[in-house]
Amino acid sequence: MRGPAPGLGPGGDAGPARGLAVGEQERSPGRELLAALILGYEVAGRLAVGFTPRPLAHQNGQVPLLAATAAGARLRGLDGAGISHAMRIATILLLTPSYTNAVAGATALDVAGGMSGFAAGLAPELALAGFKAQPNAIEEALGSLVGGGFAADDLTNELGTRWEITRNYFRLYACCNPIHPALGCLREVLAELHPETDQILRIDIATYRFASVMRNPDPANYFASKYSLPHAAAVMAVRGNAGFAELDDTALQDPVIAALRQRVNVAEDPAMTALAPRLRPARVTVTLTDGRQATHSCDSHRGDFQRPFAETELREKFRELAGTVLTRHGVGRVEHAVDRCEEWQSIDELILLLRRYGRA
């Protein structure tokens, strides 16, 4: 999610998308699915601007859960007042998962994310069944309970003219977003030096505080490796990229990658921290055993709406990921179907394709 910094994560951290599960039950047409998705993004983006998370809290099960509820309530046929009611009921379900789960490799963190789908289905039904909610439930929950503050002053700024779904960011590296700027810098340095792995004496990374704490060189498991900057940097240096195919289970046990992780040094730069979250700076220096050295720095990484990836890059990522669960022909059929989703008479058109072309 975000605070005052621009850009929502893909699917608003999947909250709005999880609300679409209600669409399968309702057999919603494509235009209604799109409207619900857009509404979910609006809720996620606007609430996130006013929300101050607690320092150790991961936002799975917080603002994304309310966004999913809004999307689910829309698909369930509730009007504006009904959607508000369902969201206020959903505050009872908000969670406080620790970010430490991520770096510790505790996959239970994903349960908190999955609760968004649960709330998207349950809270609208509770509203329809007559359950009541307190008028200020959202303000209290985000401002005093799961969060450390909530300001609603700018909640409706440019409502209807600025669409949060257009202020998105996407990830091409298969790891936690805060460490992407450093990986982008490393890619540039490696392209300049063209080193063999055994020529790399050290990799020095300076970045803002939140990214700098993701420095464990010995992640406990695959999940934890997604939150380790030394691991992701070593994978990029050895395998040439840090995408889904490169940052896999085998990377964690690769002895060459494991050795290089110990030569990656990550430190906070206070001047960079002062710029975050508006910017997410990084600086990377690679020193080789023959004395050669190169440095690259950036203010932020590519992928948000200010420096977007090309559509071709995003489609390539979709095809790679979809290909892990669908046949090659199925990937093409699903991609084509999504391109015309506003024409669907029902979400059944997508569900049937997924079932037909799933890999055995």
Indicate whether 9 pLDDT > 80: no
What pLDDT sits at residue 5? 45
Q: What are the Cα distances from residue 27, in Å, to 4, 35, 37, 339, 350? A: 37, 14, 15, 19, 11
Please list, in sequence order, all residues whose beta carbon lies within 8 angstroms of the beta carbon of residue 183, skipping any fewer than 6 positions away. 173, 175, 232, 233, 236, 242, 301
Indicate whether 13 pLDDT > 70: no
pLDDT averaged over every residue in the chain: 94
Full DSSP string of 197-253? GGGEEEEEEEE-HHHHT---SS-SSHHHHTT-HHHHHHHHHHHS--STTTSSHHHHH
Please list, in sequence order, all residues whose beta carbon lies within 8 angstroms of the beta carbon of residue 194, skipping any fewer than 6 positions away. none
Pairing of strands 282-288, 200-207: antiparallel
Q: For the residues 266-270, what does the mean pLDDT come to?
A: 99
Q: What is the pLDDT of residues 175-198, one digit of tens each?
A: 999 999 999 999 999 999 999 999
Indicate whether 166 pLDDT > 70: yes
What pLDDT sits at residue 8? 60
Question: What's the CA gap between 81 and 43, in Å, rounded?
Answer: 14
* Amino acid code (one letter) for 158: E
Long-range contacts of range 31-36, CB-CB < 8 Å, 24 or more positions apart? 31/342, 32/74, 32/75, 33/75, 33/341, 33/344, 33/347, 34/341, 34/342, 35/74, 36/71, 36/72, 36/74, 36/75
pTM value? 0.92
Question: What's the CA gap between 65 and 80, in Å, rounded?
Answer: 18
What pLDDT sits at residue 72? 96
The 3-state secondary structure of 194-206 reads CCCHHHEEEEEEE
Q: Cα 87 from chain centroid?
A: 22
Contact 308, 331 (CB under 8 A): no
Q: What is the pLDDT of residues 289-318, one digit of tens each?
A: 999 999 999 999 999 888 999 999 999 999
Contact 97, 62 (CB under 8 A): no
Q: Could you check whether the bond before residue 277 is cis, i.e. omega within 30 degrees of 0? A: yes
Q: Binning pLDDT at 50, 70 and 90, where does residue 21 land?
A: confident
Other beta carbons within 10 Å of 313: 14
In residues, how long is the chain?
360
Question: What's the CA gap between 164 and 142, in Å, rounded?
Answer: 20
- The torsion angles phi and psi of 92, rounded to 5 degrees, stand at -65, -25
Indicate whether 3 pLDDT > 60: no
Q: What is the pLDDT of residues 86-143, one digit of tens each?
A: 999 999 999 999 999 998 999 999 999 899 999 999 999 999 999 999 999 999 999 9
Indicate whether 4 pLDDT > 80: no
What pLDDT sits at residue 20? 78
Contact 147, 51 (CB under 8 A): yes
Q: What are the Cα distances from residue 33, in Å, to 38, 41, 220, 318, 341? A: 9, 12, 39, 20, 9
Q: Which two tokens stand for residue 150?
A: 């909530």
What CATH homologous superfamily does 177-298 map to? 2-methylcitrate dehydratase PrpD (3.30.1330.120)
Contact 325, 359 (CB under 8 A): yes
User: How do the domains of the chain map onto residue ranges?
Assistant: 10-166, 177-298, 311-356
What pLDDT sits at residue 344? 97
